[in-house]
Amino acid sequence: MSTTLFVRHGTTTWNETGRIQGWAPARLSEQGRAEAEAVADGLAADRDVAAVVSSDLARTVETAEAIADATGVPVETDRRLRERDFGMYQGLRGDTFFDRFPAFDLLENGREAAERVPESGESWVDVHDRVVAAAADLDDRDGPVVAVTHLNPIRILVGDRRGLPLVRSLTELAADNCSLTEFDDGGTVVRENATGFLN
Find, among 78, 176, 84, the residue nearest to 136 by Cα.
78
How far is it, in rounded angstroms, from Cα 192 to Cα 183? Answer: 9
What is the distance between the alpha carbons of residues 93 and 2, in angstroms, rounded to a whole number? 38
- Asked if residues 171 and 113 have their Cβ atoms less than 8 Å apart, the reply is no
Is 83 assigned a catalytic role? yes
Task: Say whether 150 is catalytic.
Answer: no
For the CA atoms of 128, 130, 133, 137, the dihedral, rounded to the nearest 10 degrees, stands at -130
For residue 63, count CB atoms less than 10 angstroms from its CB and return exposed for 0-12, middle for 13-18, buried for 19 or more. buried
Cα dist from 158 to 27, 72, 154, 190, whole Å: 26, 28, 6, 10
* Catalytic-role residue among 9, 62, 128, 182: 9
Distances 144 to 10, 27, 50, 155 between C-alpha atoms, Å: 21, 27, 5, 20
Catalytic residue among 35, 83, 122, 182: 83
Catalytic residues, by residue number, are 9, 83
